[in-house]
């Protein structure tokens, strides 16, 4: 179909019989484009609301609120010989697994392909516009996909998320092959296929991760803990996202200068008039209760290794030196390739290499530390960087 011609309406799949008909239509297709929509911005626990599937000549919108069981699609999604083309697939994969236990094999992720190719922009809207001259309407990016019936304009927006993906994957596949980057893409796609749903249960100690918590005094942290629990209780009871009850900045502001009166509460800019009217008196009571239960910094939960210490705990000076040298090499290599640094090697892998202090390429392959393509492309350079640090430190010790 010509890109400029009007598209036929998408097919709504809202009954088991329609789902079976679609599954029959998809059987034998070498590739399908897939996307999902949830209502995470509107409810306490998000639901899979819509699954978009496109093949040449047909766009399907599957009502996963009405169709609780999508297991009829599981064999298709698990077939590695059928390409599943998705854009930024991680959340979609998790939602499909959480909803119906659907596991995906044979993934092609157009967002990761764009990043590996070094495309300047890799958001779906930017990529579709650049490649096909089609501008997606950003109006529905934050829409509520749990409403029924969905407005026609929203349905059209949803179908466009998958309509062009198969053609986009064809373009990217050719470019990946021509650039010699297909092994890297294939490795990343395979890693993504292991994505599973992680429970997002309320963490009563989660307030320790908020920016500003360590700047509060002991009383402020007591207030913050009480507000943190109160907000979740309200969100759960009203089936609304926590941030729509009180944003994080409001929690910190109320904890920095706990209000005594409704008038003082009204002056807290992060507290909306709606929140004030709905929870004002309760918030004051929660603040008073929190003030009676101060929390010192010594009471914070024990953390694992710091993020910048790598997976093996606090680094030695020699390990730190290797990491810094590896990072400088990685950043320069990424600039040469025209990609972002993590497309070469991410920091976690750099820390692993720094801790390992490898002597030969076989060390880099130990326990699957690096993939074959990474060793083939960067192995000699990584070893040279590590040896250089070792030699430099030895020379420094000799001079002193």
Residues 294 and 339 in one domain: no
SS3 53: strand
Average pLDDT over residues 159-179: 98
- Given a contact cutoff of 8 angstroms between Cβ atoms, the answer to whether 97 and 91 are in contact is no
Q: Is 184 inside any structural domain?
A: yes
In the prediction, which pLDDT does 400 show?
61
Average pLDDT over residues 4-17: 88
Average pLDDT over residues 388-399: 85
pLDDT band at 81 (very low <50, low <70, confident <90, very high): very high
Sign of the CA dihedral running 131, 133, 138, 139: negative
Q: Kindly tell me if the per-residue pLDDT of 273 is higher than 90.
A: yes
Q: Is 200 inside any structural domain?
A: no
For residue 43, report the phi and psi dihedrals to the nearest 5 degrees. -135, 165
Average pLDDT, the chain: 93
In the prediction, which pLDDT does 349 show?
95
Average pLDDT over residues 258-275: 94
Residues 132 and 242 in one domain: no
Q: Kindly tell me if the per-residue pLDDT of 175 is higher than 70.
A: yes
Q: Kindly tell me if the per-residue pLDDT of 303 is higher than 70.
A: no
Q: 119 Cβ partners below 8 Å, 6+ apart?
A: 127, 130
pLDDT band at 1 (very low <50, low <70, confident <90, very high): very low
Q: Kindly tell me if the per-residue pLDDT of 366 is higher than 90.
A: no
- CATH number for position 355: 1.10.150.80
Q: Is 356 inside any structural domain?
A: yes
Average pLDDT over residues 167-174: 98
Residues 331 and 259 in one domain: no
The domain total for the chain is 3
- Domain residues for the domain of 217 are 206-299
For residue 85, report the phi and psi dihedrals to the nearest 5 degrees. -95, 120
Q: Is 199 inside any structural domain?
A: no
Rounded to whole angstroms, how far apart are CA atoms 340 and 286? 46
Average pLDDT over residues 130-142: 90
Q: Is 347 inside any structural domain?
A: yes
Q: Kindly tell me if the per-residue pLDDT of 306 is higher than 70.
A: no
Q: Kindly tell me if the per-residue pLDDT of 3 is higher than 60.
A: no
Residues 212 and 249 in one domain: yes
Q: Kindly tell me if the per-residue pLDDT of 305 is higher than 70.
A: no
Residue 281 burial class via C-beta count within 10 angstroms: exposed 0-12, middle 13-18, buried 19 and up = exposed
Residues 268 and 131 in one domain: no
Q: Kindly tell me if the per-residue pLDDT of 60 is higher than 70.
A: yes
Q: Kindly tell me if the per-residue pLDDT of 201 is higher than 60.
A: yes
In the prediction, which pLDDT does 2 show?
41
Hey, what are 261's tokens?
Answer: 């009166």
pLDDT band at 307 (very low <50, low <70, confident <90, very high): very low
Rounded to whole angstroms, how far apart are CA atoms 271 and 250? 6
Residues 216 and 163 in one domain: no
- How many C-beta atoms lie closer than 10 Å to residue 355's C-beta? 18
Residues 78 and 124 in one domain: yes
pLDDT digits (tens, 9 = 90+) for 214-226: 999 999 999 999 9
Choosing from 165, 192, 219, the residue where a domain stops is 192
Choosing from 299, 322, 337, the residue where a domain stops is 299
Q: Is 261 inside any structural domain?
A: yes
- Given a contact cutoff of 8 angstroms between Cβ atoms, the answer to whether 110 and 127 are in contact is yes
Residues 41 and 188 in one domain: yes
pLDDT band at 137 (very low <50, low <70, confident <90, very high): confident
Average pLDDT over residues 372-393: 94
Q: Kindly tell me if the per-residue pLDDT of 312 is higher than 70.
A: no
Lowest mean pLDDT among 70-74, 219-223, 268-272, 312-316: 312-316
> Contacts for 277-282 with beta carbons within 8 Å, 24 or more apart?
279/234, 279/245, 279/246, 282/230
Of all residues in the chain, what percent are helix, strand and coil, respectively (each to 5)?
60, 10, 35
Q: Kindly tell me if the per-residue pLDDT of 27 is higher than 50.
A: yes
Residue with tokens 């680094």: 315
Choosing from 148, 168, 192, the residue where a domain stops is 192
Residues 91 and 125 in one domain: yes
Greater pLDDT, 279 or 306: 279
Residues 179 and 60 in one domain: yes
Q: Is 1 inside any structural domain?
A: no
pLDDT band at 6 (very low <50, low <70, confident <90, very high): confident
Residues 313 and 290 in one domain: no
Residues 237 and 185 in one domain: no
Q: Is 5 inside any structural domain?
A: no
- CATH number for position 84: 3.30.420.10
Average pLDDT over residues 358-372: 91
């Amino acid at each position: 179909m010509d890109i400029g011609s009007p598209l036929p309406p998408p097919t709504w799949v809202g009954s088991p019989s329609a789902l079976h008909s679609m599954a029959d239509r998809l059987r034998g297709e070498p590739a399908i484009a897939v996307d999902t929509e949830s209502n995470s911005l509107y409810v306490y626990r998000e639901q899979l609301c819509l699954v978009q599937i496109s093949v040449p000549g047909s766009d399907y919108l599957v009502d996963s609120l009405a169709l609780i069981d999508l297991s009829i699609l599981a064999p298709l999604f698990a077939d590695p010989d059928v390409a599943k083309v998705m854009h930024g697939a991680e959340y979609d994969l998790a939602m499909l697994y959480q909803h119906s236990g659907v596991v995906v094999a044979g993934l092609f992720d157009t967002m990761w392909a764009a990043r590996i190719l070094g495309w300047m922009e890799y958001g779906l809207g930017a990529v579709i516009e650049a490649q096909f001259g089609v501008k997606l309407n950003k109006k529905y990016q934050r829409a509520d996909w749990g409403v029924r019936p969905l407005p026609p304009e929203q349905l059209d927006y949803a179908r466009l998320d998958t309509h062009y993906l198969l053609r986009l994957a064809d373009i990217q596949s050719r470019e990946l092959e021509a650039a010699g980057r297909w092994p890297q893409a294939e490795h990343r796609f395979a890693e993504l296929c292991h994505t599973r749903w992680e429970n997002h249960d309320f963490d009563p100690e989660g307030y320790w991760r908020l920016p500003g918590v360590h700047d509060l005094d002991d009383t402020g942290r007591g207030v913050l803990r009480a507000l943190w629990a109160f907000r979740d209780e309200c969100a759960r009871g009203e089936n609304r996202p926590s941030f729509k009850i009180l944003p994080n900045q409001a929690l910190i502001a109320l904890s920095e200068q706990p209000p005594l009166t409704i008038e003082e509460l009204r002056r807290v800019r992060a507290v909306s008039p709606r929140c004030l009217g709905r929870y004002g008196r309760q918030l004051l009571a929660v603040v008073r209760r929190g003030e009676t239960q101060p929390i010192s910094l010594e009471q914070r939960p024990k953390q694992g290794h710091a993020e910048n210490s790598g997976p093996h705990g606090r680094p030695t000076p020699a390990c730190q030196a290797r990491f810094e040298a590896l990072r400088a090499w990685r950043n320069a290599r990424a600039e040469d390739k025209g990609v972002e640094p993590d497309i070469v090697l991410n920091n976690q892998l750099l820390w692993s290499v720094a801790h390992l202090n490898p002597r030969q390429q076989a060390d880099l392959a130990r326990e699957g530390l690096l993939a074959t393509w990474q060793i083939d492309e960067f192995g000699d350079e990584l070893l040279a960087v590590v040896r250089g640090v070792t030699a430099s430190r030895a020379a420094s010790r000799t001079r002193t």
